């Protein structure tokens, strides 16, 4: 038979749907495993975590969950109410502080978030706090003022805390589409993110956008959010995540 008589199918027997899925699952798991091997050990003086992300992504809720997580490991937690943009945001963080028996430092709404950071650090050092978690305002990542504000908060932490901030976590809603990559790029460029918390994985969304983010920006996923309660924070499991994408 002439070579030209061969069809592509003769030469490359097509994979069936199941084989394609397995192939992709394998590739994706590999990317996720390679780029997600990190823990947040809570060791620092204090261990300082900045939590950032667009409005409604789940920052404040995640902070409550993180406080609960460190609390359950007998670490003393202080929350800094760095979202001074809305009074409701401060009140919401207060509720999480009460629920998790964490201390909280807040100023009035409209105050300079960097001043909140500074006071939080001072209180944390004086109070033997082991984990300091800073909430921040959301708005849009395209807002230049917000980016400058976040950078300033980071500078204050760097100056006052050795090796701080230990984590800068981008909280991202799993229902975010292609825009998530643009968001992550802008935040990463401004702040050098250390990880992502992918929230709302209890919804119908599978959070597929993070594959591109992880692949392009090399930012690992540290936790996933699976609900609105304190316990709904879980470690990221690459294999499980890849399975779910194709289920």
Q: Which residues bind ligand GDP (CB under 6 A)?
A: 53, 55-61, 138, 171, 199-200, 202-203, 225-228, 232
Closest to ligand GDP by CB, 138 vs 180, is 138
Closest to Mg ion by CB, 59 vs 188, is 59
State which residue has the least CB distance to ligand GDP: 225
Distance set, CA 136 to CA 95, 106, 241 (Å):
16, 12, 28
Going 100 to 104 to 109 to 111, the CA torsion angle's sign is negative
DSSP state of 57: S
- Residue position matching structure tokens 């950071």: 117
**Residue 34: how many other CB atoms lie within 10 Å:** 13
> Closest approach of Cβ 100 to ligand GDP, in Å?
14
Closest to ligand GDP by CB, 61 vs 120, is 61
Opening angle at CA 151, ends 158 and 191, nearest 5: 85
User: How far is the C-alpha of 102 from the C-alpha of 95, rounded, in Å?
Assistant: 10
Which of Mg ion, ligand GDP, none sits in contact with 225, Cβ below 5 to 8 A by type?
Answer: ligand GDP
Residues 86-105 that bind Mg ion (CB under 5 A): 89
Q: What is the CA radius of gyration of the chain?
A: 21
57 binds Mg ion (CB under 5 A): no
Which of ligand GDP, Mg ion, none sits in contact with 26, Cβ below 5 to 8 A by type?
Answer: none
User: How far is the C-alpha of 5 from the C-alpha of 171, rounded, in Å?
Assistant: 55
Among the listed ranges 55-63, 70-78, 97-105, 148-156, the one in contact with Mg ion (CB under 5 A) is: 55-63
> Which residues have C-beta within 8 Å of that of residue 150, sequence separation ≥ 6?
50, 52, 136, 190, 191
User: How far is the C-alpha of 149 from the C-alpha of 138, rounded, in Å?
Assistant: 11
Which of Mg ion, ligand GDP, none sits in contact with 202, Cβ below 5 to 8 A by type?
Answer: ligand GDP
Q: Is 46 helix (H, G, I), strand (E, B) or coil?
A: coil
Closest to ligand GDP by CB, 167 vs 232, is 232
> Closest approach of Cβ 27 to ligand GDP, in Å?
27
> Closest approach of Cβ 19 to ligand GDP, in Å?
33
Using an 8 Å Cβ cutoff, are 36 and 218 in contact? no
The answer to whether the bond into 46 is cis (omega within 30° of 0) is yes
Closest to ligand GDP by CB, 66 vs 161, is 66
> Closest approach of Cβ 182 to ligand GDP, in Å?
17
Closest to Mg ion by CB, 15 vs 95, is 95
60 binds Mg ion (CB under 5 A): yes
Closest to ligand GDP by CB, 70 vs 223, is 223
Residues that bind Mg ion (CB under 5 A): 59-60, 89
């Amino acid at each position: 038979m002439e070579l030209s008589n061969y069809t592509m199918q003769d030469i490359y027997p097509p994979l069936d749907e199941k084989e394609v899925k397995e192939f992709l699952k394998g590739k994706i798991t590999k990317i996720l495993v390679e780029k997600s091997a990190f823990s947040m050990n809570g060791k620092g003086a204090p261990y300082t975590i900045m939590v950032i992300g667009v409005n409604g992504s789940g920052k404040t809720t995640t902070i409550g969950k993180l406080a609960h997580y460190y609390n359950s490991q007998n670490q003393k937690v202080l929350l800094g109410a760095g979202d001074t943009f809305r009074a409701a945001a401060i009140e919401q963080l207060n509720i999480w502080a009460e629920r998790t028996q964490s201390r909280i430092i807040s100023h009035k709404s409209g105050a300079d978030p960097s001043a909140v950071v500074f006071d939080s650090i001072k209180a944390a050092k004086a109070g033997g706090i082991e984990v300091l978690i800073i909430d921040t305002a959301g708005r849009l990542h395209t807002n230049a003022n917000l980016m400058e504000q976040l950078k300033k908060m980071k500078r204050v932490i760097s100056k006052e805390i050795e090796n701080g901030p230990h984590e800068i976590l981008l909280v991202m809603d799993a229902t975010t589409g292609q825009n998530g990559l643009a968001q992550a790029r802008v935040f990463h460029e401004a702040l050098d993110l250390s990880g992502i918390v992918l929230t709302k994985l209890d919804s119908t969304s599978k959070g597929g956008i993070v594959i591109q983010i992880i692949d392009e920006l090399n930012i690992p996923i540290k936790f996933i959010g699976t609900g609105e309660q304190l316990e709904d924070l879980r470690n990221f499991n690459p294999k499980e995540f890849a399975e779910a994408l194709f289920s």
